[in-house]
Structure 1
Amino acid sequence: MQTAGRPARAAAFFDLDKTVLARSSSLALGRPLLAAGLLTRADVARSASAQLGYALLAADHRRSERVREQLSRVVDGWEVARLQEVVERAVERFVRPYVYLEAIELITRHHAEGSDVVIVSASSEDLVAPIARLVGADHVVASRMAVLDGRYTGQIDYYAYGPAKAAAVRELAADRGYDLARCWAYSDSVTDVPMLATVGHPVAVNPDRALLRLARTRGWEVRRFARPVPLLPRRGASLGLLGLCAGAALAGWWLLRRGALRRRNGRHAPPSPPGRPPRRR
């Protein structure tokens, strides 16, 4: 697609949980929300149960609705400004360690190619937006909670799930002039098949079994992300910090190998410095 008067552009659309992050964003933020008094331990337990079923079993409509209902029930009555404040302070410490290095490498690559990066998530926009900024995304599509007098009502105005994600991608493409045939999409869940099928380059990331089967049938690319990292490169300094991470990993491997060789050859005394007699055992 090309809008009159401007060339067609491309974008990369990333699901968030289990695609950019190694775990659920809501679970990653559970501890600071608990400390702030927004969550109770019972809330954390119920949320963990809902998310566990979502992660370990097929992410079908029924289980996704359970997560949606849990989200609505938990945030009912929360002060919006308070949640935003807690999340902003918490993302560096509690979310950053779960970001996949492979996702950051792809975000860096897409930016280098001139493409926008969009996070598309069923989680609340107030949780997703700070994480999107953390990883260097340009835009966010996320669920929006109803607000009255500065507090959440427990209702969801917009749920970015399943076909709604695909519709949002098409709408954003029309608004910003993206050529969907040149766009990429990344997700781990079969519930995101409508979004994946909307773009020219769909990628199944750590896919659930249903998505893996479908990806193989349709010839979609499958990728495995396995490296959550504690240090995120900032946009503009990505290549240097990625090189630093790679160098640190190589140095660590060399030190471990040297230690193993020393232990293996521990029965041999190390060579004496020049000019000194060998030590007696």
Structure 2
Amino acid sequence: MAFFDVDETLISIKSMFSFLEFHLRWRGEPPGAYERIAASLRAAAARGVPRAEVNRSYYRFLAGESALRLSDSGRYWFDAQDDRLFNPRTVEALRRHRAAGDRIVLLSGSFFPCLDPIAAAVGADWTLGTRPLLRYGRLTGEVLVPMIGAAKGRAARAATVVTGVPRAACAAYGDHVSDLPLLEAVGRPVVVGADPVLTAHARRHGWTLLESAAA
């Protein structure tokens, strides 16, 4: 199997922020709505709030949204992207894995409106994202477990157990130090981009480094 983080690994942007900006505009929110929400989330991250908790906060802003309406918005969001959405080097690696018969698994703190069209475009076999809780087809604002940090590592290990594929035979791609548990869960870790902490770790352990499109 080959496991791929999505934001800034498989694609070149942060899907949750890009989607939120598009969705708020699509549903007719006044100018400035996105900037206020994004500023609040970024300020929390800057204060040192754990990445998983910032992820939870994002979904609270979507409480009451229809899951079907979000899916529609996600398709429109994806269709509005240009050729720069995907990181060509990571996509090339994904295609090599797929040609070799490897299962393609996407793991992300993002959610279904963003991940479903991305997974369809690259032919992913499984997509494991953050799962918002629903009540009568609408988001409650809470989630089960943010697919962040250690959760990615646990998910990758569980996938190898379910399929019987040895972890040593699996690859994983990530761009941020929070992807370290995922990368440590496989035998062939690949660091994408230039996160200084993750890159230093990769060099110490002889991991593969893959430049992002912007590098």
TM-score, L = length of structure 2: 0.89
Q: Which residue of 2 aligns with 1:84?
A: 71
Q: 1:31 to 1:191 in 2, by over 3 A?
A: closer
Instruction: Give the distance between the partners of 2:143 and 2:28, measured in 1 at CA.
Output: 18
Which of 189, 195, 213 is residue 176 of structure 2 equivalent to? 189
Q: Aligned pair count?
A: 214
Tell which structure's C-alpha radius of gyration is larger.
Answer: 1
Q: 1:51 to 1:127 in 2, by over 3 A?
A: farther
Instruction: Give the distance between the partners of 2:76 and 2:193, measured in 1 at CA.
Output: 29
Q: 1:42 to 1:67 in 2, by over 3 A?
A: farther
Any idea what SS the aligned residue of 1:143 has?
coil
Q: Which blocks of at least 5 consecutive residues in structure 2 are unaligned?
A: none
Instruction: Give the distance between the partners of 2:61 and 2:28, measured in 1 at CA.
Output: 9
Instruction: Give the distance between the partners of 1:213 and 1:53, measured in 2 at CA.
Output: 26
Matches within 5 A, 1:70-149: 70-94=57-81, 97-149=84-136
Which of 26, 34, 56 is residue 24 of structure 2 equivalent to? 34
TM-score, L = length of structure 1: 0.69
Q: 1:123 to 1:43 in 2, by over 3 A?
A: farther
Cα pair 1:25 1:95 within 8 Å, conserved: no
- 1:67-113, CA deviations, whole angstroms, 9 ceiling, x for partnerless residues? 31431221111111100011123212226531111122111100111
Stretches of 4+ aligned residues off by more than 3 angstroms? 38-43, 46-54
Cα RMSD of the aligned pairs, angstroms, is: 2.5
Instruction: Give the distance between the partners of 2:200 and 2:146, measured in 1 at CA.
Output: 26
Cα pair 1:95 1:131 within 8 Å, conserved: no
Q: 1:155 to 1:96 in 2, by over 3 A?
A: farther
Q: Which blocks of at least 5 consecutive residues in structure 1 are unaligned?
A: 1-10, 228-281
| % same residue | 29
